[in-house]
Amino acid sequence: MNCEIIAIGSELLTPFRQDTNSLYITERLNELGVTIAFKTIVGDRRKDLANAIYVAMGRSDIVITMGGLGPTEDDLTREAWADALGIKLKRDGDLVGQLYARAAQRRWQLTANNLKQADLLDGAQVLENPRGTASGQWLDTVVNGFRKLGVLLPGPPNEIKPMFDEQCIPRLREVLPKRFIATRTLKAAMIGESAADARIAPIYSRFTDVETTILAHIGDIQLTLICGKPILELAEARVNELASLIEEELDDVIYSSSSVKGESLEQIVLYYLEMRGATLSVAESCTGGLLSQRLTSISGSSRSFLGGAVVYSNELKTEFAGVPEELIEEHGAVSREVAVSLAEGIRRRCHSTYGVGVTGIAGPGGGTEEKPVGLVYIAISDGIQTDVVEKNFAGDRERIRFYASQQALDMVRRKLM
Amino acid sequence: MNCEIIAIGSELLTPFRQDTNSLYITERLNELGVTIAFKTIVGDRRKDLANAIYVAMGRSDIVITMGGLGPTEDDLTREAWADALGIKLKRDGDLVGQLYARAAQRRWQLTANNLKQADLLDGAQVLENPRGTASGQWLDTVVNGFRKLGVLLPGPPNEIKPMFDEQCIPRLREVLPKRFIATRTLKAAMIGESAADARIAPIYSRFTDVETTILAHIGDIQLTLICGKPILELAEARVNELASLIEEELDDVIYSSSSVKGESLEQIVLYYLEMRGATLSVAESCTGGLLSQRLTSISGSSRSFLGGAVVYSNELKTEFAGVPEELIEEHGAVSREVAVSLAEGIRRRCHSTYGVGVTGIAGPGGGTEEKPVGLVYIAISDGIQTDVVEKNFAGDRERIRFYASQQALDMVRRKLM
C-alpha cells in the first residue's frame, strides 16, 4: 500500500516555512512497510485543497491531510474533503458537547465558527485530540471500486504525533498485511560520506533485502538499515548481519551502533565519561561555546561535564585557562602550543579528569597565508599526557566551528575507548 | 499567474531528506509577483512522475520540475514530461555535440545513457547548464486552450540557482505583467505570535495591497511585508507606511526594522556594543554555552564579545565568576541572588563593560515544586547597577535554553538602547 501526505497551510508555500510534520509520519509509516508515493503542499484555498485531496484519493491508497482543522475561516480541510469526495458533513452531537465543556472549563466564549470543529465527514470516525480542540477524522471508504483510507490530522506537531501514534497506527495495523520491520542505525564521526560509501557499498549492495540509507552531516554520517520480513526475527537477523559487517569495515570511526535510533556523539561521550566516573571541562576559543552547548544540550550532562571557559580574547585565555602571555606572544593564539596550554590549564582550574582546548580561525576574516581560515588546533589532556591535532577544515564559519566541535568530541571519545 | 513546483527524487520521500530547492525558487517567483499554489514531491517512478506533471499542468499556469535530468536509469523526468503531455522527445544534435566535447575534455567514456541528456521535448528551448551535464528545458505550450509554461530544472542547488536566475527569470519577465516588488522585514524579541498579531492585525489588515507574513521562532517573531506595484516607488511607499505604523505599535520589542532581510538579535546586540565601544562577557549555567555560541556565530564578534564561563557546577560558579559559596548555599544555585552575582562577577573578571549571568532549570529533571523546570534568572550588570528578571519558560529543554539565551540578548539590547 502507498500513501500520500498533504500538508495544508498557505504559510508552507512561502520561502520562510517548510512542512516538517510529514517527516515524522513518513518514519512511522515506513516502519509499517508503507511507502510514501507523493507529498503535496497546498494553501488554504478551498478549491485548491479539494483538488489536492481529489487527486490524491485517485492515485494513492492512504491519504493523510495535516492542518486546517481549527476554528478560523482559513480552516477549510473538512469542507474540502467533503467537496472532493462528494459527501456531506454532519455536526456530531458528542463533539459539540465536548467543545462546550472545554470552553466552559476555560471560560471561553464559543462562536459559530468554533462549532464547525464538530463537523464530521459522513462515515468518518473521530480521532480524539486531548491536546487541542481540533479532532481528527478517520475515513474508511471506497473510491472507484478501490478501498481507500482518508485521515484528517490537525497541524500542530504536538497534537499530530500522539494522535497518529495512539489512534492511527493501531487502526493501520489492522488494515495492513502483517509485516515486521527491523531497523538499525550506525553512526560514524569525522569520515566523509563518499569515503565511507566507497568502503561499505560492496558490502551493503549484497544485501538487496535491506534498505541502506546514508545521511551525512558535518563530520558525521548516519547509516540506517531497514529490513521488512513476515517474521520479525528474520528481519532482525538480516540487519544485524549487515551491521556487523559494516562495523568491522569502518571499525573505530563508528561511535554508535547498538540502538535503533542511534545516539548522538554528545550522548556517547557523556555516557563513556559517566561509566568511567570521569569529568570533563573545556576551554573554547574559535568554537565560542558551541562545544559546551552541544554537551549541555543533553539532559543529565551536569553529572560529567563541569563547564569551562569561552576564551575569545587573549586576556581571557590567560585569566581562565592560565595560558602564559609569552606563549601567546611567541606562537600566536592559534597554535599547537596554545591549544595544549588551554587543555592543561582548564583541566587544572576545573579539577576535571580531562581538559579540552580548542583554538583556530573560523573566518571569514582573520586568515593569513601561514594560518589560513579553517586552521584549528584541538588538544585533550588527562593530566599526564596531552594529545593535540592540527586540522584544516573546509567551509564557512558555521561549518568550520561545527567540525572543530565534532573533532573535539571525537577525541574525547577515543581517549575514553 | 500561479505556479506549481515539483521536486523529484525518491530520497525526498524518506524521513531523512527534504526538498529545500523550492524555497529559493519560491522567493524569486514571489519577487515577480507569482505565487506558489502547490508543491508536489514525487519519487523516481515514471508513472508517478508523469501523473504529477499531468495534474500540475492541468491546474497551474507555470510548472517547474526540479531533478531527474541526469544520465542514470532513475532520471526519468524528460520521459515523464513527454508521457504527461503526449509529446515526443527528440535528440538534439547540438546537445549531443556538447556532451561529446565535454566528455572528451574530461576523458570520460560516453554511454548510451549519457546521450539521453540530449533529448528535448518537442518545442522546448534548451536552458544551458555550464555547471553540469544536465541541460534544463523551457516549454511554452498550450493545454486545454490555456497557455502554460513548463520548466525542467536539474536537481543540484548549485546548478538550479544560476540556471533559474540567468535563464528563467528573464524569460518570465517577458511573459509576466510588469510589476515591482518592495519588501521589508521587521523582527521582534520576547513577544508571542498571537500577542503581536492581536496588536498589529487591525493595522496590517487595512493594507490589503501589502502581504504580511508572521513567522514565529522561540522568543522571536519576524514580520515580512511584501507589496507589488507597477511602479517601484509606489510599492516601497506602501511597505514603508505599514512598517512605520507597526513599529509605532510594537515600539521597543522591535529590534530590527531597517533592512530588507532583517538582522538577527545577535547581530543587533554586537552592532550596538561596537557602536558604543562597549564589551560583553557572560557566565552561563543552564544555557551551557548557548549564549556565547550564538554571539560568536557572528563573524567579527571578537571586537565586542570577550568570552566568559560555562559554570555548570557550583564550584565553577565560584571559581570563574566569584560567586560566594555561602550565597549558593543560602539561596540555591538557581536564584535571583546567584544570577546577580554571576553577572557582576564575570564582568569584574573579564574587565568588560557589561556582564550577563544566567541560571535556571532547563529540565526535564531537576525541578521542584518551589523551583520548577523552566524557572530561569537572568541578570545584566554595568558595574553600577544590576538588573535581574525571573522567567518561567514553557517547553522542553531545548526551548527553555533558547528562550533564556534570547531573553539575555534582549536585555543587553535594551540596556544599550
Query: pLDDT, tens digit, for every residue of A250-291?
Result: 999 999 987 777 899 999 999 999 999 999 999 999 999 999
Same domain, A204 and A133: no
Q: How far is A8 from chain B (nearest CA, A)?
A: 10
Query: pLDDT, tens digit, for every residue of A166-192?
Result: 999 999 999 998 888 888 999 999 998
**Average pLDDT value for residue range A396-400:** 94
> CA-to-CA distance for A339 and A387, rounded, in angstroms?
10
Collect all residues of chain A within an 8 Å Cβ-Cβ radius of residue B306.
312-313, 315-316
CATH value at residue B249: 3.30.70.2860
Same domain, B299 and B230: no
> CA-to-CA distance for B403 and B220, rounded, in angstroms?
9
What is the three-class DSSP state of A224?
strand
Q: What's the confidence (pLDDT) of residue B407?
A: 98
Q: How far is A301 from chain B (nearest CA, A)?
A: 9
Q: Which residues are CB-contacts of B147 (< 8 A; sequence separation ≥ 6)? A: B61, B140, B141
Question: Range of B59's domain?
Answer: 2-175
Boundary-marking domain end, from B114, B143, B175? B175
By CA distance, what is B292's nearest residue in A?
A289
- Interface test mutation site (partner A, options B312, B348, B397, max chain A beta carbons within 10 A): B312
Same domain, A25 and A83: yes
Contact across the interface for A293 and B295, Cβ inside 8 Å: no
CB A218 within 8 Å of CB A406: yes
Phi, psi of B14 (to 5 degrees): -95, 170
**Average pLDDT value for residue range B152-180:** 93
Cβ density class B232-265: b for 16+ within 10 Å, e for less: eeebbebbeebbebbeeebeebbbbbeeeebbbb
- Interface test mutation site (partner A, options B30, B273, B293, B347, max chain A beta carbons within 10 A): B293
Which of B11, B15, B36 has the CB atom closest to A23's CB atom? B15
Q: What's the confidence (pLDDT) of residue A106?
A: 81
Same domain, A193 and A143: no
Query: pLDDT, tens digit, for every residue of A90-108?
Result: 999 999 999 999 888 888 8
Q: What's the confidence (pLDDT) of residue A192?
A: 85
Boundary-marking domain end, from A225, A256, A287? A256
The ipTM estimated for the assembled molecules is 0.84
**Residue ranges of E strands in B154-219:** 180-189, 210-217
Same domain, B328 and B389: yes
CB A40 within 8 Å of CB A56: yes
Q: How far is B243 from chain A (nearest CA, A)?
A: 19
Q: Over chain B, what is the mean pLDDT?
A: 94
CATH value at residue B314: 3.90.950.20
Collect all residues of chain A within an 8 Å Cβ-Cβ radius of residue B309.
307-310, 320
Contact across the interface for B296 and A313, Cβ inside 8 Å: no
**Average pLDDT value for residue range A361-382:** 96
Query: pLDDT, tens digit, for every residue of A109-164?
Result: 888 788 999 999 999 999 999 888 899 999 999 999 999 999 999 999 999 999 99
**Average pLDDT value for residue range A186-206:** 92
Which of A23, A30, A51 has the CB atom closest to B59's CB atom? A51
Q: Look at residues B373, B362, B355, B393 and name the one whose alpha carbon lies nearest to residue B285.
A: B362
> CA-to-CA distance for B177 and B38, rounded, in angstroms?
21
Query: pLDDT, tens digit, for every residue of A15-30?
Result: 888 999 999 999 999 8
Cell of B398: 531545548
Same domain, B69 and B158: yes
CATH value at residue B151: 3.40.980.10
Q: Look at residues B387, B395, B336 and name the one whose alpha carbon lies nearest to residue B360.
A: B336
Contact across the interface for B310 and A311, Cβ inside 8 Å: no
Collect all residues of chain A within an 8 Å Cβ-Cβ radius of residue B301.
288, 312
Phi, psi of B402 (to 5 degrees): -65, -45
Same domain, A216 and A334: no
Phi, psi of B256 (to 5 degrees): -140, 130
Q: What's the confidence (pLDDT) of residue B262?
A: 84
Collect all residues of chain A within an 8 Å Cβ-Cβ radius of residue B365.
299-300
pLDDT higher than 90, residue B358: yes
Query: pLDDT, tens digit, for every residue of A36-89?
Result: 999 999 999 999 999 999 999 999 999 999 999 988 888 999 999 999 999 999
CB B325 within 8 Å of CB B317: no
**Average pLDDT value for residue range B217-232:** 91
Amino acid present at A172: L
Q: Look at residues B170, B157, B93, B88 and name the one whose alpha carbon lies nearest to residue B127.
A: B170
Same domain, B168 and B187: no
Q: How far is A93 from chain B (nearest CA, A)?
A: 30
Same domain, B226 and B337: no
Contact across the interface for B364 and A320, Cβ inside 8 Å: no
Q: What's the confidence (pLDDT) of residue B258?
A: 76
Q: What's the confidence (pLDDT) of residue B33?
A: 85
Residue carrying C-alpha cell 469542507: A79
In sequence order, what DSSP letters do the residues of A296-352 get, joined into one string? Answer: HTSTTGGGTEEEEEEE-SHHHHHHHH---HHHHHHH-SSSHHHHHHHHHHHHHHHT-
Collect all residues of chain B within an 8 Å Cβ-Cβ radius of residue A211.
none
CB A58 within 8 Å of CB B63: no
Which of A39, A43, A305 has the CB atom closest to B41's CB atom? A39
Cell of A126: 473521530
Same domain, B171 and B184: no
Q: Which residues are CB-contacts of B190 (< 8 A; sequence separation ≥ 6)? A: B219, B253, B406, B407, B410
Collect all residues of chain A within an 8 Å Cβ-Cβ radius of residue B399.
none
Contact across the interface for A290 and B312, Cβ inside 8 Å: no
pLDDT higher than 80, residue A217: yes
Query: pLDDT, tens digit, for every residue of A324-346?
Result: 999 999 999 999 999 999 999 99
Query: pLDDT, tens digit, for every residue of A228-243?
Result: 898 999 999 999 999 9
Collect all residues of chain B within an 8 Å Cβ-Cβ radius of residue A16.
213, 215, 222, 224
Q: Which H/E stretch holds residue A187?
A: strand A180-189
Which of A18, A45, A293 has the CB atom closest to B288's CB atom? A293
Query: pLDDT, tens digit, for every residue of B124-142?
Result: 999 999 888 899 999 999 9
CA B120 to chain centroid = 35
Q: What's the confidence (pLDDT) of residue B347?
A: 98
Same domain, A286 and A236: no
Boundary-marking domain end, from A208, A234, A256? A256
Q: Which of B4-18, B96-110, B243-257 has the lowest mean pLDDT?
A: B96-110
Length of chain B: 417
Q: How far apart are the first and last CA of chain A?
A: 45
The confidence band for B345, taking pLDDT boundaries of 50, 70 and 90, is very high
Same domain, B155 and B250: no
CA B19 to chain centroid = 14
CB A265 within 8 Å of CB A189: yes
Collect all residues of chain A within an 8 Å Cβ-Cβ radius of residue B374.
none
Cell of B156: 543540484
How many folded domains does chain B comprise?
3
